[in-house]
Amino acid sequence: MHQSLGENKGRFDIEWDDEQLFPEFVYPDADFMLRRMNEATLESVNPRQDELILDIGCGRGIEGVELAKKGAIVVGLEPSKVMIGHARNHISENGANMSLVRGLGEHVPLRAQSVDKVVCKGALDHFPDPSMVMEQIALVLKPGGEATIAIANFESLGFKLGRMVWWFRKKLGFKSPAGRMLWEVPEDHTYKFDYSSLRHLVSNHLEVEKATGVSLLFGLPWWGIFLAKLPGNISLAILSSLDKMARHLPSLSDVVVLRCRPRD
């Protein structure tokens, strides 16, 4: 696992707000990836009636609300009071039954072996100590329970090709664009994960049952612009075909989804 990206990363921003993440225009590849990440996460969790599901780093409660609609008893754990506010609004707007607890994934306020399932989507690389989060997940899961971990892959094929393209452009004398490139780890991330580092971390605490890749080629320079110029049905067909390939290539996919269970 890649270690933290700076000494200032050890503290979580309790005022963190994801409003900063929403661009004015979303290209088809980004929109598809985010939608499929949500779908693949929910498919992996596969909620059942009256199951107790803990959503660690629940953010706006998007996935938690969908799980609750399936009849699950959902508890969302979120450290940011701003995001807790967003989640309350989303829960209210959807008339869902989902509880919210403010706290860190490193210190889950639930009894050992009390939870049927745990989901942690897009959050593990935001926590100061991902290993402790996984330890807590293993602790609260019932025997026979399941955990789903979904995270961005910073060694995806799209990011690898992106780095390569910009390296060649720099060698040819082109100036680097201002701002962060997609394959560079954002400031609000504490760790950089790829498929192998994520699987290694998770395997220290749980047994990985299934690894699934989601989406392919996000981050490839000008890919999103090209797709945006195509008719929507053609763009979707291309992205869907690549996504089918990605499911079997988690090391190269844009997102990795792991389904895990406690060790016997």
> How many Cα neighbours within 13 Å face the side chain of 205?
20
Crossing angle for the helix pair 195-203 and 130-140, to the nearest 10 degrees: 50
pLDDT digits (tens, 9 = 90+) for 77-92: 999 999 999 999 999 9
Q: Which two tokens stand for residue 229?
A: 């110029």
pLDDT band per the 50, 70, 90 thresholds, residue 7: very low
What value does the mean pLDDT take over residues 219-229?
A: 96
Q: What is the pLDDT of residue 154?
A: 97
Every domain of the chain and the residues it spans: 15-261
Closest CA relative to residue 110, chosen from 82, 138, 83, 69: 138
Mean pLDDT rounded to a whole number for the chain: 91
Q: pLDDT by residue (tens digit) across 170-206?
A: 888 888 777 788 888 888 889 999 999 999 999 999 9
Handedness of CA 21, 164, 159, 5 (dihedral sign): negative
pLDDT on residue 6? 33
* pLDDT score of 28 more than 70: yes
Bridge partners of residue 149, in order along the sequence = 120, 258
Can you give the pLDDT at residue 117? 99
Q: Which fold has domain 15-261?
A: Rossmann fold (3.40.50)
Beta bridge partners of 120: 149
